[in-house]
Amino acid sequence: MTTTLRHADRIATSRGARRIRNVVASVLIGLGTLVVLVPLFLIFWYLLSRGLGAIDLDFFTRSPAPPGEAGGGLLNAIVGTFMLLIIASLIGVTIGIGGGIFLAEFPRHRLVPLVRLVSDVLSGIPAIVLGLVAYGLIVVTTRQFSAWAGGVALGLLMIPIVVRTTEEVLKLVPTSVREAGLSLGLPQWRVTLSIVLPAATSGIVTGVMLAVARVAGEAAPLLFTALGNNLLNLDPSKPVSALPLSIYVFATSAYPEQQRLAIAGALVLILIIFVASLVARVATRRR
């Protein structure tokens, strides 16, 4: 068996090179992972080291000082963010949960493929494009930049996220539970509303929180809808600011005082988002 000898020789000679290649690959994979994580730590470190000192009582209780002056806070943006998120949730949660129930509870309906396709496709549309849509729908019609317009833009962004999590959570409720309800003689709407939905509540709440956390950081769709407002405003038909919007405007401004406010705002925003997603994550795990 001459071939045997030839293999054996070559296999023996290549073994050292293969072992080296194996070690090199392991090192590169480890290094690659490190490179992926380094920006995360750098960003956190930067925000903590530069932003923590700028967060004081004023930050939460006052609106920005005029350019060039010291002091002031982001009260206007914090209030604006909450206002926008409430309006967005009215749209995103209502339509999103409805769509999720439709996909999960009427799986044989002939419109299911269409609704699922549109919802999936909607989730990939850039936020700024949805901002243009809300601009056309609300700002052009009412001739006014407003919290309504910004909320609609964020609400459009929420819909597909809520649809998907609602559908996934409802599908986790075993069919036997539905059959048990139906066999008691309950009509389907009763089974869905009183048995299936309550069983899935915590999962749906988690999904909604994740969606809120996701859109809370969006500034692009607000640029030409909510527009921004350096004064505290509680009227949803007027322009409002939002944390990400203020961060964008102040980070790109020339005044160090405003840049400081942007960094502090970024720290607060990132903490809100991480806490929200952490709570959501823990809530799903405990279930």
Find the shortest distance in angstroms from Cβ 270 to other proteins. Answer: 6
For residue 102, what are the contacts with CB-CB under 8 A and spacing of at least 6?
109, 111, 112, 115
Per CB under 8 A, the list member of 79, 205, 209, 251 interacting with other proteins is 251
- Least CB distance to other proteins at residue 60 (A): 19
Count residues binding other proteins (CB under 8 A).
Answer: 100
Q: Is 219 helix (H, G, I), strand (E, B) or coil?
A: coil
By beta-carbon proximity to other proteins, the closer residue of 37 and 234 is 37
Contact of 243 with 77, CB cutoff 8 Å: yes
Does residue 287 touch other proteins according to CB under 8 A?
A: no
Closer to other proteins by CB, 171 or 214: give it: 214
Q: What is the footprint of other proteins within residues 130-189 (CB under 8 A)?
A: 130, 132-133, 135-137, 156, 159-160, 163, 185-189
Nearer to other proteins, 11 or 234 (CB): 11
- Give the bridge partners for 227, in sequence order: 240
By CB under 8 A, the residues from 81 to 140 that bind other proteins are 94-95, 97-99, 101-103, 105-106, 109, 111, 114-115, 117-130, 132-133, 135-137
- Smallest gap from Cβ 210 to other proteins, in A, equals 9
- Burial code (b: 16+ CB inside 10 Å, e: under 16) for 253-262 equals eeeebbbbbb
DSSP 25-78: HHHHHHHHHHHHHHHHHHHHHHHHHHHGGG-SHHHHH-PBPPTT---B--HHHH
Other beta carbons less than 10 A from residue 28's beta carbon? 10
Site for other proteins in 47-76 (CB under 8 A): 47
Q: Is 212 a residue that touches other proteins (CB under 8 A)?
A: no
